Structure 1
C-alpha cells in the first residue's frame, strides 16, 4: 500500500523548471505548455497527476525505489488490500499472520474488537502496526465464509522474493513484485529446490507450475521479461518498448535454461504493470493459462529521475506492447477461466481449477 502526500505537505520548494524540462523532453505524451506553466509548489502533485496519472514526486527522505526488494519490518506479516470498500489481508508465507492460522486473502472484520467498516485505509493500517512483541486481535472472514478470531503477535519479518506455498496437491509460487536482479534467480533456486525435493519423494519432477500473481502490482519490467524468457524459446519476442518519436525496441528471449511444464497464472484486478506484461506474454504464446479476474490494465512503464535537490520525479516514459502488438492499458488481460470474487480469494479452490484446466 502506498500513501501519497497531499500537495500542501511538501516541506520545501521543488525544482519546478527541472521537472518541466524533463516532462517536456522525456514523457511518453508531451504535456501542453499551459499545463507545465500551471505547476507550482502548492499544486505540484495535483498537476502532475493531471498530466500523467502515474507521475509522482518524492522528497528525498520519503523515496524508496520500487525496483528494490522489500526490507525486513515489524508487523503481522500481511499487506492490507482494499477492494470495493472491503479490506483483506494478503498473508506472507512464514509471517506472524500465517503462523497464527489466518488464511491468505481473509477479509478483515475487526481489529481489537472494533469494526473496520467505514474506517479509512490509513487508519486501519496504523491499527495493525505496533512494536515488536505486542499483539493484536483480528476477527476475520476466511475464504469459504468461516468467521474466526486470532491473536497475532507482531514480529520482525523478512519476505521471500518468491514464496512457495502448498494449498493443495500442487506447489504454488507467489510473486508479489518483480525485483531487478533478484526475482529470476530466486525463481530458479526455488524451482531447483522443489524439483530435487519432488524427485526425492516421488522419483519424478513436478509436471505443473502455478504462479500466484494476484497481489503482483508490478516492479522491474526487464526482470519480468527475463522471467518470461525462462518459459519461451530463444529469440521469441517478449514485448516491445514504445517511446516517443517511434523509438521502439523489441525485447527477445535469450538462451539459457528453459522450462516446458504446463503453467497456470493466478491473476486479478491487482495484477498490474510488469506482472501483466509477464502474464500477457505467456498467455499469447499459449504457454500459460490465466485463472482469476481481468487484470488492472497498465501496460506502461515509469522511470525515476533524481533531481538536483535530491528529490525524485517519477513519470511515464514508455508503453509496452505484447508480442502480438497490442497493449493491455485500459483493458487488462482477460483470463482463460473467469471466477467470482469469493473464488478469487480461495487459493485452494483456484489450484483445483488450475489442475482441471491443465
Structure 2
C-alpha cells in the first residue's frame, strides 16, 4: 500500500473518531459553586422557569425587583396565612411585633357581613381625635369603595408602610350605623382626613378617663367590682396590668374584657395568666419536630383569687383566646360571650 493511501486512511479514522465523540457530547453549563451546592435552587426551579417564561413573553417590561417581591409575598402568604413579608425599605415605619410602637391612623376595622366596619380607635391616635368610634361603616378609603376592599387591604391603607407613608393623608368616608337599614341608607356620610403618625400603644384600659386623663377602673363602688380591658397582648401588657391593678382598693370582683382583642405575643399572654394562677400548666408549644416547651404558673406575684368574669366575642383571637381558655380550664373565671 502506498504512503499516500496510508495517510488518507489515517485522516479518515481520526475524523470518524472525532465525529463519534462530538455525537456523544452534550454542553455542560457551569454554575457557580453556591448553585451546585444549594438545594434551594433545585426546589425553586419551577419558579425560575416561570419567571423566565413571563419575562420572555410578557407584553409589559418585567421588573426583576417587582417579580421577586411578588414571588416572595405569594410564597409567604401560601405557606402561612398569618405571616407577612416586610421589605427592607419599609422597616423604617414599623416596629417589631409586641413592641407597642407602630405607625398609622389608629383606626381599627374588620370585615363583617360583607362590609368594612369600625371596631375601635387607638387612644390618642388621629382616628381617636377625629371622633371615629364603633359602630360605623366604612364607605370608602382614599376614594376606593369599601365594596372592593378586603379587611387586609383596608388595614394596609390605614396603617401604611414604606418611606412615603408618613407623608400621605388617608381620606376615609364613613357612616354611622342606625337602628334600621332605611335609616342607615339616609344617614349622613362623614369624611375625615387622617394623617398617619407614630403611635405608642397602651393596651390596658379602664371604663372612662378621669379629669387627670387617667383610666378609671372601678365599675361598682358598693360591690367593689373593677373593670379592665386589654386591647391586645404586647410586651408591655403585663407591666400595664400590674400598674392598673395597683390602683385597685380592696377589690371584690373583676371583669376582664377581651372583646375585639386580636391577640399578640405568647409570652405576654402567659405572663397575664400567671398573675391570676398560682400553679399548674398554662400552655405549651410544640414545634414541627415534636419538641415541647411548657409554661407554668408561679405563686409569686399572683393576685388574690377574687371572682372573675372574662368577656369575649367573635373577634377575640390568638393570644386572647389562650388567656380566656386557660382561665376557664383552671376554673379561675367565668367566660361570657362567644
- TM-score band by shorter chain is 0.5 to 0.7
Q: Are residue 184 (structure 1) and residue 260 (structure 2) matched? A: no
The correspondence for 2:314, drawn from 269, 276, 293, is 269
Q: Against the structure 1 CA distance between its residues 59 and 209, is the aligned structure 2 distance closer, same or farther, given a 3 Å change threshold?
A: same
CA distance in 2, matches of 1:16, 1:267: 52
1:147-184 deviation digits (Å, cap 9, x = unpaired): 5665757475543132323499466433233222x110
Aligned mates of 1:270, 1:18 — CA distance in 2: 47
Is the contact made by 2:282 and 2:326 (CA closer than 8 Å) also made in structure 1?
yes
**Compared with structure 1, are the counterparts of its residues 53 and 151 closer, same or farther at alpha carbon in structure 2 (3 Å cutoff)?**
closer
- Residue in 2 aligned with 1:87? 116
Selected match of 2:296 from 252, 258, 262: 252
Shift of 1:189: 0.4
Out of 38, 61, 68, the residue aligned to residue 99 of structure 2 is 68
Kindly indicate whether the alpha-carbon contact (under 8 Å) linking 2:253 and 2:308 is maintained by their aligned counterparts in 1.
Answer: no
* TM-score normalised by length of structure 2: 0.59
Trace 1:232-311 onto structure 2 (pairs within 5 A): 232-233=277-278, 235-259=279-303, 260-293=305-338
1:174 to 205, 210, 229: 229
User: Are 1:224 and 1:277, in contact at CA under 8 Å, matched by a contact in 2?
Assistant: yes
The answer for the alignment partner of 1:323 in structure 2 is none
Q: Which residue of 203, 206, 215 corresponds with 1:164?
A: 206
SS in 1 for 2:101: coil
More helix, by proportion: 2
**CA 1:35–1:211 in structure 2 vs 1: closer, same or farther (change >3 Å)?**
farther
Q: In the alignment, what sits opposite 2:86?
A: 58
In the alignment of these two chains, the number of paired residues is 254
Q: Identify if the C-alpha distance between structure 1 residues 258 and 74 changes in structure 2 by more than 3 Å, giving closer, same or farther.
A: same
| Coordinate RMSD, CA, aligned | 4.3
TM superposition shift of 1:231 = 0.7
Matched, 1:140 2:141: no
Report deviation, 1:36: 6.4
Q: Distance in 2 between matches of 1:52 and 1:120?
A: 21
Return 5+ residue gaps in structure 1 as ranges: 1-14, 22-32, 294-358
Aligned match of 2:71? 43
Tell me how far apart the structure 2 counterparts of residues 19 and 161 of structure 1 sit (CA, whole Å).
45
The answer for the alignment partner of 1:208 in structure 2 is: 254
Contact 2:227 2:254 in 1 (8 A): no
Measure, in 1, the Cα distance between the counterparts of 2:124 and 2:243. Answer: 18
Structure 2 gap ranges (5+) = 1-33, 49-67, 210-217, 221-225
For residue 276 of structure 2, give the secondary structure of its aligned residue in structure 1.
Answer: coil
Task: Give the C-alpha shift of residue 236 in structure 1.
Answer: 1.3
- Report the secondary structure of 1:228's partner residue: helix
Higher relative contact order (CA 8 A, sep 6+): 1
Distance 1:50 1:280 in 2: 29
Deviations 1:96-142 (A, max 9, x none): 54455544343334679x7945232546864898989x896754324
